[in-house]
Structure 1
């Protein structure tokens, strides 16, 4: 049984807009035409999608159930439109990469430069997001490659991805060089009494800090400042306030310049694996496989 996708689209737009009137304005289709097609759709399949409450239309329980998969359907449709558009705009290809701050600030610039030297006609688009968002963009086919520092994310069920471990990084506690704990060894109980500056929810570092606290059987520290970016987080610590828990690959350049100092916390050492994920290589365009080869040959 084929589905009337046009009527389904009208249902989705009305549900999204909250009224036939607003959907009509957006789609430039008359209100009677929209209402008639939705009624025919309901009659055809023996279902009820909307019910009136006063002057408003609300989704029935089945309408609510149908909304999410319908939304996913039209998200995929938009992704297909975007892919076709990219194909025509970029006849030699477009490489889309998502990475966390560590990847896009420390690792990817070198690889992207080497890639463009070999493939100057391929467009390259790089987005900085947290690790969870990079993974989700890949699973939704919004990017071709995701590079991030949380290999546990790849264990989420329902996704068939090809992942390669690039580095074995480490998380470290950092403070300003003028902080009382700079380059000192202290207990976890002392460390968590400090005000912390951390990334947003969904960031790898924040999740790892909570894991460390749980393993050490202490309550997580107070997060006094929270930023959407790692650079902002580090700069706040450099300025002299509080402590943070960050990737050593990122922090090392600040430590070498004397802008940050490590804190050696007794009994705490957490390894952070940096991974590159893509869909199955056999189904990738050649230039995506070439980028992966460049990464593997230039990890040092």
Structure 2
């Protein structure tokens, strides 16, 4: 009888300890912590937009985030007098052109690396990875000399082509990983229908890679839109070809900084990028997840 009682005691399931926080309380606590982190991250952007509606005197008076007398003079001065309008369209030209070229080139190379058993693939991919560790400052002079030799040293076309080379290796690997996880039956079906490799890529594989295409578009847009060093060097002798990042820097003088105009120009610069990311963020996250999974 004692043995039976001991047996019941030994095999009795342990009692579950009561959680010190309910699931709803945990979600609330996590939301509060994330909101605090988000507020710290967003504050510089909010301060910049607030300062763009203030005069320089009000900015240094530290009157808080809400302007006492909001003014649009900073935006008017930045757009017209500081030529930010021209820089905006220069940046738009460079960004759109580089996005188109980079996306098509990276997709083609990624398709070959991800789907074709080419000889020396491992060595080629290793060499491509090695180029990621070369700082941009080391390649500025060779790139500029190359553009000058082909007659594009002082043109927006030269800036656009040079901007295409910054992140194309990363984008190629993203496409290769995404294409590599697609089933082989797609290509076999196209081959049975008499479709060649190029048409298979363009009409079958590329439409299925919409998430990774959007990912590359967003990342290349961010890179081209915010690039500073390369446009500064290429457009040094021709200020009319400046991009927004270089144009914003022009508000900084030798003895005086126009903070009102600089914050207004910075707001003009970042608002299109924020809107683009908000519109495409779902595809962007899906594309990164698919590429990492592949």
Fold shared per TM-score above 0.5: no
TM-score bin (small chain): under 0.3
Q: State the structure with bigger RCO (CA 8 A, min sep 6), 1 or 2.
A: 2
Q: Who wins on radius of gyration, i.e. which is larger?
A: 2
Alignment TM-score, normalising by the size of structure 2? 0.22
Alignment TM-score, normalising by the size of structure 1? 0.22
